[in-house]
């Protein structure tokens, strides 16, 4: 299912501030070298993440799912001077490549990389989060949400990516495991009274959740 009209998306990109040089390089590398380039946040969503971070001015950001590092580079821009972004990636190769990009950023000292299972790493991080971005394995979404919610400050934000899952989450009975998991996550969040929610129709769908 094509969710976003290509011509409209290209027009929106033309109206949007361009990526910086390092973001452009991550974008090019991912589409040229990675087996799953569709997982990249990309220009429009990246700029939205960046804008949200600037609006919140977080001290502590948690990202679950580093991939090649694009979204972390966007989110880190709005950090306070003493801020930190902790990003977790299960796959060693992706974590290493992302770190190589982070090390070339002026924000490199604010980005802390963790490699391994997020369900093990999250409880060991002794922080209260201002902003959390969930963009990892879809069957883990509900668990990740429940792990981070108690540590998100009141009126802090959680972002969850891919809530449309290529349109499959709109189906009454999705067939693929990840689509089923996203549909269950959406239903779980819709019924959850601990957060205020906005579903954003950008790219593959983005949930914006505010802790009440």
Class of domain 6-211: alpha beta
202, pLDDT greater than 80: yes
**3 pLDDT tier (thresholds 50, 70, 90):** confident
- Which residues, in sequence order, are bridge partners of residue 211? 195
Distance CA 207, CA 123 (A): 23
CA 79/CA 98 separation, integer angstroms: 19
pLDDT surpasses 90 at 56: yes
Average pLDDT, the chain: 96
Going from N- to C-terminal start, the domains of the chain cover 6-211
Cα 81 to Cα 62: distance, rounded to the nearest angstrom? 16
Reported pTM: 0.96
Q: What's residue 79's pLDDT?
A: 98
Residue 186 pLDDT grade (very low, low, confident, very high; cuts 50, 70, 90): very high
Q: How confident is the model at residue 65 (pLDDT cuts 50, 70, 90)?
A: very high
pLDDT level of residue 77 (50, 70, 90 thresholds): very high
The pLDDT assigned to 6 comes to 85
Q: Please, are residues 174 and 168 in contact by the beta-carbon 8 Å criterion?
A: yes
**Model pLDDT, residue 11:** 95
pLDDT digits (tens, 9 = 90+) for 19-40: 999 999 999 999 999 999 989 9
């Amino acid at each position: 299912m094509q969710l976003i009209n290509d011509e409209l998306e290209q027009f929106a990109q033309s109206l949007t501030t361009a990526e910086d040089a390092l973001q452009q390089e991550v974008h090019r590398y991912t589409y040229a070298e990675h087996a799953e380039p569709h997982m990249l946040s990309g220009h429009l969503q990246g700029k939205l993440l960046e804008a949200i971070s600037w609006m919140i001015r977080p001290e502590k950001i948690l990202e679950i799912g580093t991939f090649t590092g694009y979204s972390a580079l966007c989110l880190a821009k709005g950090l306070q001077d003493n801020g930190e972004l902790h990003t977790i990636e299960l796959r060693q190769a992706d974590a290493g490549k992302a770190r190589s990009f982070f090390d070339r950023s002026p924000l490199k000292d604010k980005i802390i990389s963790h490699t391994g299972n997020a369900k093990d790493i999250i409880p060991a991080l002794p922080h209260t989060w201002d902003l959390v971005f969930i963009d990892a394995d879809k069957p883990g979404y509900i668990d990740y949400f429940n792990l981070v919610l108690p540590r998100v400050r009141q009126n802090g934000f959680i972002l969850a990516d891919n809530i449309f899952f290529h349109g499959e989450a709109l189906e009454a009975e999705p067939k693929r495991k990840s689509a089923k998991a996203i549909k269950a996550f959406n239903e779980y969040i819709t019924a959850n009274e601990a957060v205020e929610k906005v579903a954003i129709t950008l790219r593959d769908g983005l949930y914006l959740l505010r802790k009440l």
